[in-house]
Amino acid sequence: MIFKTRIRAIGLAVAFGTLVSVGKASSTDLVGVDFGEDNIVSYGGSDSTFFSGVDLNSFVGANTLYGLGYTGSRAVAANIEGGFAWGSHEALDGRLSQTYAGGGALSLSSSSIMQHATQTTTVIGGVGTSDVSRGIANGAGLWSFNIATALATNGSFSTSYNSLYQGYKTAMQTGIGGRTADVINSSWGFTSTNTTTMRTYASGATYEAVMVDALVNTTNRLAVFSAGNNGNRSGTLAQVGGISAGFNTLSVGATGINSGEASSSYNARAYFSANGLNPYYNPVTGAFVNNARVRVDIVAPGQGFVLPYLPAGLTDPTYWTAPMDGTSFSAPMVAGAGALLADVAYDKYAANSNSRDNRVLTAVLLNSADKFSDWTNAAYTTSAGVYTTNQALDARYGAG
């Protein structure tokens, strides 16, 4: 069945506030700066400290696994969104092992290469000649899949049922060359400022959410999605929407400091990160139950990233931009962490595919998350002294 084309907004990978600087990562910029083994960094606050912010790989604990010899080398991670990553940028030089467009999606060309896809793929596993490009799973096989049938200049894109289905099915089920992706990342979604429409988007009942839920259920692959950047809206309009609102995906929110500058703390929800209790849609009765589900599963840093910049005509692969904000960048941090865990599973339990099951990887990620000082699952003690809660996770932070 072919559904009509819809316009879908990317996970809004835009700089909230002022885009402070764009420049080359030259040796002059990097003098005297310790990047902790060339990791992803946050913006230092000025041109002179462009690359001297927080070492984000270390911040989220990836260095512990690096120290044990795990970089994701046994795993494959696929970035799926509107447009391809630019494999010639120094952050991804030689890193892309597969590109794919099916079901009527745009094929690989200079016009279908997107900055957003390049940035999110870099966070997953970038590593090149630059000193600030080592993604979370920098040894993993990287795939860049395009699901857009048309691309707009504002970052939104069109999809069809076929382009979505073929993209996700190929990565998760059919595979390429006998291999499927262990982890997928998708930093895009769709929301609405209309409360009725947003209720549908937040219920997980859209065909896009149902499709990916079914593929996760069938393949047991880890599917990581950005929660969305609509968290500064009021009431139900701030809820997680789109595929992230489904039931089997791992939805990732963002932490930050909400001042537009990098922070070593990242100890609060970023003001733009979607949050709140989502509705449940009963497909039998057609009724909605409001405030029924937490759809932020986990959070990761999402403010002030220094990431690749694509100049007009793709003429120079050495440019960078900062600060970049959004749940678009929180999600690939978690996807990269999932690829690191899959790498461990292949090494320690190669013969046991259950070790790489979506449910196992998700459980490890959620149970490894640090709780914030204001984390709450709304627990209370009844008059009979019974400790009770109706939700397992925090509506803002998920597991933490």
CATH of the domain at 61: 3.40.50.200
364 backbone dihedrals φ, ψ, rounded to 5°:
-65, -45
237's tokens: 């309009």
Amino acid type, 206? T
Tell whether 397 is covered by a domain: no
What total number of domains does the chain contain?
1
pLDDT tens-digit readout, 270-301: 999 999 999 999 999 999 999 999 999 999 99
Q: Catalogue the E-assigned strands of 10-116.
A: 21-24, 76-81, 96-101
242 backbone dihedrals φ, ψ, rounded to 5°:
70, -150
265: three-class secondary structure by DSSP: coil
Rounded Cα distance between 216 and 212, Å, is 6
Tell whether 310 is covered by a domain: yes
Choose the weakest-confidence range: 2-16, 338-352, 377-391: 2-16
Rounded Cα distance between 77 and 380, Å, is 40
238: three-class secondary structure by DSSP: helix
Confidence of residue 317 (pLDDT cuts 50, 70, 90): confident
220's tokens: 């047991």
Rounded Cα distance between 210 and 226, Å, is 17
Provide the β-strand partners of residue 393.
none
Tell whether 311 is covered by a domain: yes
Number of H helices, E strands in the chain: 9, 18
User: Is 60 exceeded by the pLDDT of residue 7?
Assistant: no
pLDDT tens-digit readout, 10-47: 333 222 222 333 444 432 333 223 333 478 888 777 76
- What is the layout of strands, in order, in the sheet containing 305-308? 21-24, 319-324, 305-308
Tell whether 388 is covered by a domain: no
pTM for this entry:
0.90
The residue that leads in pLDDT, 128 or 242, is 242
Rounded Cα distance between 334 and 371, Å, is 16
Tell whether 30 is covered by a domain: no
- Residue bearing tokens 């049922």: 161
Give the domain range for residue 170: 6-13+37-367
Name residues whose C-beta falls within 8 Å of residue 96's C-beta, 6 or more positions apart in sequence. Answer: 85, 87, 121, 142, 143, 144
What does the DSSP 8-state code read for residue 73? T
pLDDT tens-digit readout, 193-212: 999 999 999 999 999 999 99
Q: Positive or negative CA dihedral for 83, 89, 92, 93?
A: positive
The residue that leads in pLDDT, 142 or 127, is 142
Nearest to 300 by CA among 367, 373, 400: 400
133's tokens: 């490009």
User: Is 70 exceeded by the pLDDT of residue 262?
Assistant: no
399's tokens: 């597991």
Tell whether 363 is covered by a domain: yes
Tell whether 79 is covered by a domain: yes
Choose the weakest-confidence range: 238-242, 279-283, 308-312, 358-362: 308-312
At 55 the pLDDT is: 87
User: Is 90 exceeded by the pLDDT of residue 189?
Assistant: yes
201: three-class secondary structure by DSSP: helix
At 131 the pLDDT is: 59
Nearest to 17 by CA among 339, 271, 320, 246: 271
Rounded Cα distance between 37 and 218, Å, is 38
Tell whether 140 is covered by a domain: yes
- Residue bearing tokens 């929301």: 191
Rounded Cα distance between 381 and 198, Å, is 34
